[in-house]
């Protein structure tokens, strides 16, 4: 019935229309068109590498397969406040410098273990009073992590292959024994 609209929207999510890479990947420009945050190709790659570290390809698809970094950028661009977007940009700079300082190379050039350690160490710095990492950096990481996981758990892949999402349940069982697995 609304297949056309549905397909259009689906395309938007998984890399069509709005997120369509601008053909050739040149001139240091990001592949996505963003309205509010100004992201270059290196920065886009950084988000891609971070997302892939958070949700890596295993025997199931990872962040890059699902284009989750483009979803992260879209959400930051469209759904965050100016202040959050500024923190995102500042925090991204701080993150880049931190990695450079720590490993004398970029995040993309780090090995898997270094990447994981870097992200986990930021994630575990939960005390708001801690000064180990600057506030913007933590906020940047929080946005990347949050939207990567959000994009992952609401992706078509996850909602059809990993859990069962039903548009039409056709039932309400008010008493349902816990042992059985149900749909979301």
Partner 1 sequence: MANLNIDSVKDRTFDAIVIGSGMSGGWAAKELTGKGLKTLMLERGRDVKHIKDYPTTNMYPWEFEHRGEMPMAVQEANPIVNRCYAFHEDAAHFFVKDKEHPYVQDKPFDWIRGYQVGGKSLLWARQTQRWSDFDFEGPARDGFAVDWPIRYKDIAPWYSYVEKFAGISGNKDGLAELPDGEFLPAFPLNSVEQYFSKHVKSKYSNRHVISARCAHLSKPNQIHLDQGRAQCQERILCQRGCPFGGYFSANSSTIPWALKSGNLTLRPFSVVHSIIYDDKLGKATGVRVVDTNTKETIDYFARIIFVNAAAMNTNLVLLNSTSHRFPNGLGNDSGVLGKYVAFHNYSAHMSAEYDGFKEWTTDGRNPAGGGYIPRFRNVFKQETDFLRGYASGFSAYRRRQRGWDGIGSSLKDNLVNDDLGPWSVGSHMMGETIPKEASYVALDAKLKDDWGVPLLKISMDYDDNDEKMKKDYIEQLTEMFTSAGFTNIQASSDHRAPGLDIHEMGGARMGHDPKTSVLNKWNQVHAVNNVFVTDGACMTSTSCQNPSLTYMALTARAADYAVSEMKKGNI
Site residues (CB under 8 A) for partner 1? 1-2, 5-6, 9-10, 12-13, 18, 53-56, 58, 60, 74-75, 78-81, 116, 119-120, 123, 145, 149-156, 158-159, 162-163, 165, 167-178, 180, 182-184
Q: How far is the CB of 24 from partner 1 (least distance, A)?
A: 25
Provide, rounded to whole angstroms, the least separation between the CB of residue 18 and partner 1. 7
Cα-to-chain-centroid distance, residue 118: 17
Cβ 148 to partner 1 shortest distance, Å: 9
DSSP 109: G
Give the distance from CA 121 to its chain's centroid: 18
Q: Cα–chain-centroid distance for residue 161?
A: 19
Q: Closer to partner 1 by CB, 41 or 56: give it.
A: 56
Q: How far apart are CA 133 and CA 156, in angstroms?
A: 35
Distance CA 108, CA 120 (A): 16
For partner 1, the closer CB: 18 or 98:
18
Please, are residues 65 and 57 in contact by the beta-carbon 8 Å criterion? yes
Angle CA(59)–CA(56)–CA(110) in degrees, nearest 5? 130
- Nearer CB in complex with partner 1: 102/182: 182
CB of 109 to partner 1, least distance (A): 19
Of 27 and 35, the one with the shorter C-beta distance to partner 1 is 35
């Amino acid at each position: 019935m609304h297949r056309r609209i549905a397909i259009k929207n689906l395309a938007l999510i998984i890399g069509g229309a709005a997120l369509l890479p601008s053909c050739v990947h040149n001139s240091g420009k990001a592949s996505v068109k963003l309205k509010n945050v100004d992201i270059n190709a290196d920065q886009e790659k950084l988000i891609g590498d971070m997302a892939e570290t958070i949700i890596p390809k295993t025997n199931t698809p990872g962040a890059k397969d699902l284009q989750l970094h483009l979803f992260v950028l879209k959400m930051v661009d469209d759904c965050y406040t100016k202040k959050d977007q500024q923190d995102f940009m500042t925090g991204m700079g701080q993150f880049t410098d931190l990695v450079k300082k720590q490993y004398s190379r970029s995040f993309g050039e780090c090995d898997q273990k270094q990447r994981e350690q870097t992200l986990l160490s930021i994630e575990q710095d939960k005390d708001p009073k801690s000064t180990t990492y600057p506030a913007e950096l933590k906020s940047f990481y929080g946005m990347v992590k949050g939207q990567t996981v959000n994009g992952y758990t609401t992706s078509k892949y996850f909602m059809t292959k990993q859990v069962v999402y039903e548009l039409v349940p056709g039932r309400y069982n008010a008493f349902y024994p816990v042992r059985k697995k149900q749909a979301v």
